[in-house]
């Protein structure tokens, strides 16, 4: 089985693909390599025969290079047929619940709970209920204001989803956040479906409760399994991406699970990570070149 190594450098860093190739040249000495440029001076694919020893050695070298995102995987079936993605701090640049809390003067307190929950230090469901309770009385109109003024798509989000969809993939947005936002974000990016938590509303204000059942880590994995079965796909057909501890089951359940600018616990559980680049890095990991991107 051939192995594909994808190297993606951050153009703002001093690291260059040339320097990286020089650093790993000794690992491949006497071994044939197929080299394909995916993006000039930014992304490169190296394909070679599988060897467990080489994989370990490469990881040791590449992990120490600043400004580099990399992925080592089977060269077969790289272009995934389904993407499951988290929303907050993955497909958008903020945590919606933290921004909502700012409208009631509780952002600092809520953000601290969010951070601890995403790091896996708190039970997700309990932390969600605690934070939503602090939103009691928030006007529904403020949700729209929050979306209009504070929600920004993550760099490369639309290009990632639209490129995969143009090549036959199905796109699922599954979030521990709220349907009020996932409905809008899914539409803006082009996801085929979305799943998230429902905020309790009475009259024109939030009740401070979440409608059961809660969409947490288990729901994300269940969604992966449900949608893969529905579309007749195997584990290796699926890409999952997220940043928090509640994304770990979904990331571990995918053929390619990626931690995106993620918390340490999530990074440790993922097959690959994006630390420096935007979401188009996930296209390079699948072997797409710039010329194939749908802008």
Q: Catalytic one among 86, 98, 243, 247?
A: 86
Coil/strand/helix, residue 268: helix
Instruction: Let me know the angle formed at the C-alpha of 134 by 265 and 101, rounded to the nearest 5 degrees.
Output: 70
**Tokens (6 digits) for 144:** 């729209």
Q: Catalytic one among 88, 98, 237, 247?
A: 88
User: 206-211, long-range: CB within 8 Å, 24+ apart, which pairs?
Assistant: 206/132, 206/135, 206/136, 206/137, 206/138, 206/140, 207/136, 208/132, 208/133, 208/134, 208/135, 208/136, 208/137, 209/129, 209/132, 209/133, 210/128, 210/129, 210/132
**Tokens (6 digits) for 180:** 């009020």
Q: Is the Cα torsion angle 28, 24, 47, 50 positive or negative in sign?
A: positive
Active site (annotated) includes residue 88: yes
Pairing of strands 2-9, 193-202: unpaired
Please report which residue ranges of the chain form alpha helices under DSSP H: 17-24, 52-62, 96-102, 107-118, 124-133, 140-150, 157-166, 179-189, 217-230, 248-253, 264-269, 281-285
Find out whether 39 and 9 touch, Cβ atoms under 8 Å: no
Q: What are the residue numbers of the active site?
A: 86, 88
């Amino acid at each position: 089985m051939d192995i594909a190594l994808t190297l993606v450098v951050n153009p703002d860093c001093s690291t260059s693909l040339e320097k990286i190739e020089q650093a790993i040249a000794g690992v491949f000495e006497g071994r044939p390599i197929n080299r394909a440029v995916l993006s000039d001076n930014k992304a490169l694919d190296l394909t070679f025969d599988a060897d467990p020893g080489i994989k370990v050695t490469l990881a040791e070298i590449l992990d120490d290079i600043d400004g580099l995102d990399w992925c080592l995987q089977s060269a077969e079936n790289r272009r995934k047929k389904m993407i499951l993605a988290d929303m907050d701090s993955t497909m958008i640049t903020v945590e919606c619940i933290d921004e909502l809390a700012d409208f009631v003067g509780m952002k600092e307190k809520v953000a601290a709970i969010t951070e601890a929950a995403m790091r896996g230090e708190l039970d997700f469901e309990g932390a969600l209920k605690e934070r939503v309770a602090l939103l009691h009385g928030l006007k529904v109109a403020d949700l729209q204001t929050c979306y209009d003024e504070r929600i920004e798509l993550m760099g490369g989000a639309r290009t990632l989803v639209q490129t995969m969809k143009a090549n036959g993939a199905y796109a699922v947005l599954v979030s521990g956040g709220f349907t009020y936002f996932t409905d809008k974000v899914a539409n803006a990016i082009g996801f085929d479906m979305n799943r998230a938590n429902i905020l309790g509303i009475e009259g024109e204000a939030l009740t401070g409760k979440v409608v059961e059942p809660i969409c947490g880590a288990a729901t994300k994995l269940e969604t992966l399994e449900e949608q893969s079965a529905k579309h007749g796909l195997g584990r290796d057909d699926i890409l999952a991406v997220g940043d928090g501890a509640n994304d770990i089951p979904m990331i571990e359940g995918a053929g390619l699970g990626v931690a995106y600018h993620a918390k340490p616990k999530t990074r440790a559980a993922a097959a690959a990570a994006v630390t420096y680049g935007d979401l188009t890095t996930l296209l390079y990991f699948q072997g797409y070149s710039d010329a194939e991107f749908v802008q």
